[in-house]
A and B are shown apart, each in its own frame.
Chain A
Amino acid sequence: MSGAAETMIDVRVWRGAGEGEYQAFTVPRRDSQTVLDVVTWIQRHADPTLAYRFACRVGVCGSCAMTVNGRPRWTCRTHVSKVIEDGRLEIGPLANLPVIRDLAADMAPFFDKWQKAEGTFVPSRTRHEPLERISPESAERQAADAAIECINCGVCYAACDTVRWSPDYFGPAALNRSWSLVNDVRDAGNLERLAAAASNGGCHNCHSHQSCEQLCPKGLNPTASIAGLKRRTMQAYIRGEIT
């Protein structure tokens, strides 16, 4: 595409922090163009003060998520053709998080909740002991596998209505992480982890309406992980291990 025949996209981009407004830009349409390409074009050619975040550009780092035409997306792997509506794109920061500036959301609350959900590995052996051998076929390993590919992009967190209603709720990503550790036979922190999952911010907030599963760019299913946590916390409660 070139010259007068060039097709253009009407793009509206959020500017400002909590207070702000959408600013209009006209961006040339390209083949195989991603939403991140559009944002980068604006910053390079229209307004160098535009703040946004990305690193890998290939769907690995999880830093480029934004709200595109009302839905959270990983922008580096989202083709414009997939999300454009009537030649228009509206691009804002991720929802359910404070905005630092323009398209950069503050991810701190998102990661704080991983800590609150006890989403860190607690080793059961020291470095002086031999590595534990885990069979790839074992049920626990496969359950952990299903939840393990998360890139911490925050798309599910922004998609979750329950996070919006209950600001204490840990959200799908943190609980998905918790579930992969619950299934990790090397881990020694499960009692604390299940207690966290059963606390007020935990898995029982989830309405199982699956927006997280629908929009997770890695095709993970946090809803299923959370259902697993509901089962395991119930068992632990009945055994009297948590209250």
Chain B
Amino acid sequence: MSAVRLYVWQRLTATLMVPLIAVHLIVIIYATNRGLSAAEILGRTRGSIAWGLYYGLFVIAASIHGAIGVRGVAREWLGWREKALDRLMWIFGTILLVLGLRAVIAVVGT
């Protein structure tokens, strides 16, 4: 994949994740400060379309961003060829996506 396309997608997903990460951190602090139990948290997230969309988007953005990042590291540190790097990126990104979406389903699914 061309360098500029990778660059644009990585910057785009980074920009998207800035507010997402902020909200994510606030939620963590809120939940721990309030001493919410796992059951209480699940009680609020289960069936919530808003939380599903929020964390779904987060997982997609993180998978794209992380996969492009790992591709870059492998390119410089391992000196792999472009084809192999693209394959690594897709495989790594898909794993992140599957794992992440499974977690989202576990949190918002009813």
> Interface on A for B, CB 8 Å cutoff?
162, 165-166, 198-200, 202, 204-205, 230, 233-234, 236-238, 242-243
Which B residue's beta carbon lies closest to that of A167? B79
Which A residue's beta carbon lies closest to that of B75? A166
Contacts of A236 in B (CB 8 A): 4
> Interface on B for A, CB 8 Å cutoff?
2-8, 11, 75-77, 82
Count of A-B contacts judged by CB separation below 8 Å? 37
B76 touches A242 (CB 8 A): no
- A contacts with B: majority SS: helix
Given contacts A204-B7, A230-B7, A237-B8, contact A198 B2 (CB under 8 A): yes
Tell me, rounded to whole Å, the shortest Cβ–Cβ distance linking A221 to chain B: 20
B2 touches A243 (CB 8 A): yes
Which A residue's beta carbon lies closest to that of B3? A204
B76 touches A202 (CB 8 A): no
A199 touches B8 (CB 8 A): no
Tell me, rounded to whole Å, the shortest Cβ–Cβ distance linking B56 to chain A: 25
Contacts of A242 in B (CB 8 A): 2, 4
Contacts of B75 in A (CB 8 A): 166
A238 touches B8 (CB 8 A): yes
B76 touches A165 (CB 8 A): yes
Query: Once the chains are docked, how many angstroms separate the CA of A165 from the CA of B76?
Result: 6
Query: Once the chains are docked, how many angstroms separate the CA of A159 from the CA of B83?
Result: 29
A237 touches B4 (CB 8 A): yes
Across the A-B interface, give the 7 residue pairs with the lowest CB-CB distance, nearest first.
A198-B4, A204-B3, A237-B4, A165-B76, A204-B7, A233-B4, A200-B3
In the complex, 22 of the A-B residue pairs with CB atoms within 8 angstroms, ordered by the A residue number, are A162-B76, A165-B76, A165-B77, A166-B75, A198-B3, A199-B2, A200-B2, A202-B3, A202-B4, A204-B3, A204-B4, A205-B3, A233-B4, A233-B7, A234-B4, A234-B11, A236-B4, A237-B5, A237-B8, A238-B8, A243-B2, A243-B5
